[in-house]
Structure 1
Amino acid sequence: MGWSTEQDGAGTQGVQDAQEGSGAGAAGERGGEPARPPAALSPSRASDFMQCPLLYRFRVIDRLPEKPSPAATRGTVVHAVLERLFDAPAAARTAAGARAMVPGEWERLLAKRPELAELFADDPEGERLAAWLAEAEALVERWFSLEDPQRLEPADRELYVETELASGLRLRGFIDRVDVAPTGEVRIVDYKTGKAPRPEFAEGALFQMKFYALVVWRLRGVVPRRLQLVYLGSGEVRTYDPGEADLLAVERKLLALWEAIRLATETGDWRPRPTKLCGWCDHRAHCPEFGGTPPVYPLPVRAAGGASAGGSGVGSR
């Protein structure tokens, strides 16, 4: 199956920006814009709610700040390189050229988000930064052992997709790459800078891909032929060929998830769900599981009889 097609040449930045739920900050955030109920669902926010409803609240409704992560920031730089590499003619898409793009993409990201400089604030000699950039370069180079960009012409890169289901639920997100074969078959590709998970933990990444496939199906009327996860950390490619039944099951799951989010939004009942991942959470100081207190809930709360009460201190229980 060939996946070459004409490329549109349009890349989209800000992968995470469009996956932050409602797009509105809590009072005091984003110039004092008041908090609003969630208006759409992205794969990352759906995963947040499934992992821990209180985490979803902190990120989407309260918009609590989070410290930048070296791993996540490295992933953003690597994604930018793999997107922009296709701006060059096919013959110029080489591993050496891609590696050389890494420092420039880091500087571009730093100019957009100056707060990322704190990642290396305690690195006066630049040794940690140099090692970090070398790790990003190694990930970029490993990609060339998994795919040949000289034989690919993506139809879309960093493609923003958004659709509204018949139920009114709005789904949105960014797809790293979309390939379209001459026969019209669609392949959705996602780059992961970490290692491929063990089979028992692979469902999370596959859920994200099925989410994108559902959106593309609803937008274009075509079920993607293949979903492809490219794990740069371990040098593996995993694929899945979805069917309509797969995507209908995902749609039902998302509708149930959205109903649970709607209920939590109206009642202010966002319960924490402790897991091993809590050790990496930035919000433990606000989490009741760790002796913290959530911020005052910024949205109206539905009283027991169905009437709305004013904002209250309702947190997670």
Structure 2
Amino acid sequence: MDSSIEGTAEAGGGAGAEAVPLLTGGAETTVADTAAGRPVVPPASLSPSRASDFMQCPLLYRFRVIDRLPEKPSEAATRGTLVHAVLERLFDAPAAERTAPRAKSLIPGQWDRLRETRPEVVELFADDPEGERLARWLGEAERLVERWFTLEDPTRLEPAERELFVEAELDSGLRLRGIIDRVDVAATGEVRIVDYKTGKAPRPEYAEGALFQMKFYALVVWRLKNVIPRRLQLVYLGSGDVLTYDPVLADLERVERKLLALWEAIREATRTGEWRPRPTKLCGWCDHQAHCPEFGGTPPPYPLPVGMADGLSAGGPGVAPREAQSLPVRAAESRAVPQGRMGPD
């Protein structure tokens, strides 16, 4: 599950107005700062979700990262956040006590915690005074948690990390960051990266797109530890499928080249202010139709100066020449603080 914490600090694709750190171009600001009218700064990092946003639609990327337009919480994304929190907390218990009933018993408490840290999710069920829809929704979360026990045995797992925030800064200046659901390390030192998905597994022809996020994480781990993960594992709780992939060095090098090219396109759009919409079937689920030219809308005034290429390349992230792309990197990692995490799963 991608963290959605990047650039001008994504928090669930722009939803929410709490003051969370925004790490951007060497400066630190907050959502509250931006709302108060302080200067908006250009994006300075990529997470898997925001990279996917730009590939899907550059204008969507702008709305989420630069304009930070609000988005309504969705039942699906919120349920994903809840299930992730339950699976993370389950590993606090001794191995023998990691059972399905115990996991389900964690759901009410984690839902209360989520409502406290993200009050906007309460509006999901504002029109449900009797609580019938909420009860069904919580029941769906229970079924997803139960299904996980048919796919993995938590009594035999001792994760090295859970909800691990990772960040690697390439010598090009580009920072890659994200939150990995689980990292398993075998006695032999082999690393497995695991991500939970509460939706259904994609059809085979779309599997490569699904693996993009995992290869992104593998690249960051490689840059951090000089270790290529032995296995990437996607656990689809919605359909009961497990998708695995064993990466090799060439995979990670290709992903790095792709991300550097993507970042160059983002820099150019930031410099020119030209963020073109890219209509697809996914537009029907977009919260920003009122601001999108494809639906007769008008984007808000562009909050950054046009023609700021020099500012982006001097002391900020940029794309280095190809021969510099494989140089060592500066990196940092820490445990993530999961509350408030509302990114798409």
Confirm or deny a common fold (TM above 0.5). yes
- Cα deviation, residue 103, structure 1: 1.2
State the distance in 2 between where 1:62 and 1:26 align: 11
Q: Which amino acid aligns with 2:246?
A: D
State the distance in 2 between where 1:32 and 1:21 align: 14
**Which one of the candidate residues 304, 307, 320 is aligned to 1:302?**
307
State the distance in 2 between where 1:31 and 1:143 align: 43
Counterparts in 2 of 1:28 and 1:278: CA distance versus 1, 3 Å: farther
Instruction: Please give the per-residue CA displacement for 1:34-75, whole angstroms capped at 9, x wherever unaligned.
Output: 211001000000000000000000000000000000000000
Instruction: Please give the per-residue CA displacement for 1:88-136, whole angstroms capped at 9, x wherever unaligned.
Output: 0001100011011111111100011111110000000000000000000
Instruction: Please give the per-residue CA displacement for 1:223-243, whole angstroms capped at 9, x wherever unaligned.
Output: 000000000000010100000
**Which one of the candidate residues 162, 166, 172 is aligned to 2:171?**
166
Residue number in structure 1 paired with 2:146: 141
Q: 1:203-282 to 2 correspondence within 5 Å?
A: 203-282=208-287
Instruction: Please give the per-residue CA displacement for 1:1-59, whole angstroms capped at 9, x wherever unaligned.
Output: xxxxxxxxxxxxx9635246542568974443321100100000000000000000000
* Residues 179 and 188 in structure 1, CA contact (< 8 A), matched pair in contact too: yes
Residue number in structure 2 paired with 1:69: 74
State the distance in 2 between where 1:15 and 1:213 align: 13
Counterparts in 2 of 1:228 and 1:133: CA distance versus 1, 3 Å: same
State the distance in 2 between where 1:79 and 1:247 align: 26
Residue number in structure 2 paired with 1:6: none
* Residues 3 and 47 in structure 2, CA contact (< 8 A), matched pair in contact too: no
State the distance in 2 between where 1:61 and 1:102 align: 34
**Which one of the candidate residues 96, 101, 112 is aligned to 1:96?**
101
Structure 1: which 5+ runs fail to align? 1-13, 309-317
TM-score by length of 1: 0.89
State the distance in 2 between where 1:27 and 1:142 align: 39
- Cα deviation, residue 205, structure 1: 1.8
* Residues 4 and 47 in structure 2, CA contact (< 8 A), matched pair in contact too: no
**Which one of the candidate residues 194, 199, 217 is aligned to 2:199?**
194
Counterparts in 2 of 1:88 and 1:141: CA distance versus 1, 3 Å: same
What RMSD over aligned residues (CA atoms) do the two structures have, in Å? 1.8
Q: Percent identity?
A: 77
Residue number in structure 2 paired with 1:79: 84
What secondary structure does 2:45 align onto? coil
What secondary structure does 1:189 align onto? strand
Counterparts in 2 of 1:273 and 1:97: CA distance versus 1, 3 Å: same
State the distance in 2 between where 1:25 and 1:174 align: 20
What secondary structure does 1:163 align onto? strand
Structure 2: which 5+ runs fail to align? 10-21, 23-28, 312-345
Runs of 4+, deviation exceeding 6 Å: 25-28
Alignment partner of 1:124 is 2:124? no
TM-score by length of 2: 0.82
* Residues 160 and 185 in structure 2, CA contact (< 8 A), matched pair in contact too: yes
Counterparts in 2 of 1:307 and 1:135: CA distance versus 1, 3 Å: closer
Residue number in structure 2 paired with 1:51: 56
What secondary structure does 2:5 align onto? helix
Alignment partner of 1:181 is 2:168? no
* Residues 27 and 298 in structure 1, CA contact (< 8 A), matched pair in contact too: no
Higher relative contact order (CA 8 A, sep 6+): 2
Residue number in structure 1 paired with 2:326: none
Instruction: Please give the per-residue CA displacement for 1:217-267, whole angstroms capped at 9, x wherever unaligned.
Output: 000010000000000000010100000000000000000000000000010
